[in-house]
Amino acid sequence: MNNSAVLRVLDWMKEIEIGSGDLTTENVSLYPVHVQGELVALESGIFSGKEVISALFSPAGERVKLRWNLNEGDLIHGQTVLCQIEGNGAEILKLERLVTWIVGRMSGIATATRSAVQFLEKVGKKLVPGASVSPIFEVIDRIALETGGCVSSKHGLENAIYVTQNHVKYAGGLEKALKHLQSEIGDIRKKIRFDVEVNTVDQFKEAQKLDCDAIHVVGFSSEAIRELFEHTDIVKMPILHLNTILDFQPEFYDYFFRNCAIEALTGNINLIKNLLIIQYEGESK
């Protein structure tokens, strides 16, 4: 986990959610109340979010203690207690909504990812991250994808080039875009990965003649995919992007590609329902 990036995102989320303070929690009681609680999953799936939630509470120090019952990637069922939580009630209550949303989102992504990975493994393909991302939340979404079994690239925007169609139009063409990038980067080109996104068969033909490391086939219809793999001389093995796993047709099994991206995994998320149940002193269970 990229701790610094995750902490920056969590700080931003707390700033939006809480601001300078939780007016309700800070004033509903005369003094901080010690509480105990449980984070409970209400649906089945793959658990994700342990390290992120631990990081969320890290500024509270000893005022809040977490005892995890599951590890990242473990299978969960309805009514599974993910974690016991104990400590300053105000510190816990003000983060309640963030806790349940983060766990729900990350577990939902991990669950859908695991299903896609299992399907692709049966046909000899690997799942890789898609081109569609959720700005800001990409840093936690990537953890959930990896938890589900997605093969994540070690390259990020700081050490890789990803040329989209907008970049191509902005530069006046794909060849111009790549040549300009090469001239700007210079001698460190060997350390920088060049990825190119194409939207048509003709663009793919052009791209594989140029200096790039990976070609992403994005937004192709089933007919265009068939044309590419059945009627094109493919030299560079492409990465095929599909919207959903249901778009993977039987004839794709034997096509010349190894890596497949499913865009809907981080764009159409079914959150795993979960609940933070708080037990107060003197209250019967």
**pLDDT the model gives residue 277:** 95
- Tell me: the pLDDT tens digits for 168-223? 999 999 999 999 998 988 888 888 899 999 999 999 999 999 999 999 999 999 99
Is 285 a member of any domain? no
How far is residue 223 from each of residues 160, 199, 201, 228, 245, measured CA to CA in Å? 31, 13, 11, 9, 17
Is 45 a member of any domain? yes
Domain count, the chain: 2
280's tokens: 């107060």
Mean pLDDT, the chain, as a whole number? 91
pLDDT at 228 over 50: yes
Quickly tell me which residue has 């939340």 as its tokens: 137
Do 229 and 167 sit in the same domain of this protein? yes
Query: Could you tell me if 128 and 150 are in contact, meaning their C-beta atoms sit under 8 angstroms apart?
Result: yes
Name the residue range of residue 261's domain. Answer: 122-265
Which domain CATH number covers 90?
Answer: 3.90.1170.20
Which domain CATH number covers 225?
Answer: 3.20.20.70
Is 115 a member of any domain? no
Do 97 and 129 sit in the same domain of this protein? no
83's tokens: 């974690």
Most confident residue range from 91-105, 152-166, 185-199: 91-105
- Tell me: the pLDDT tens digits for 101-138? 999 999 999 999 999 999 999 999 999 999 888 888 99
**pLDDT the model gives residue 72:** 98
Concatenating the DSSP letter of every residue in 24-69 gives HHHHSSSS--EEEEEEEE-S-EE---HHHHHHHHGGGGGGEEEEES
Is 148 a member of any domain? yes
Quote the DSSP letter at residue 70.
S
282's tokens: 């003197």
- Put simply, whether the predicted model's pTM sits higher than 0.75 gets the answer yes
pLDDT at 24 over 70: no
Strands (E), 111-192: 126-128, 160-163
Nearest CA to 278 out of 5, 25, 11, 1 is that of 25
Do 141 and 87 sit in the same domain of this protein? no
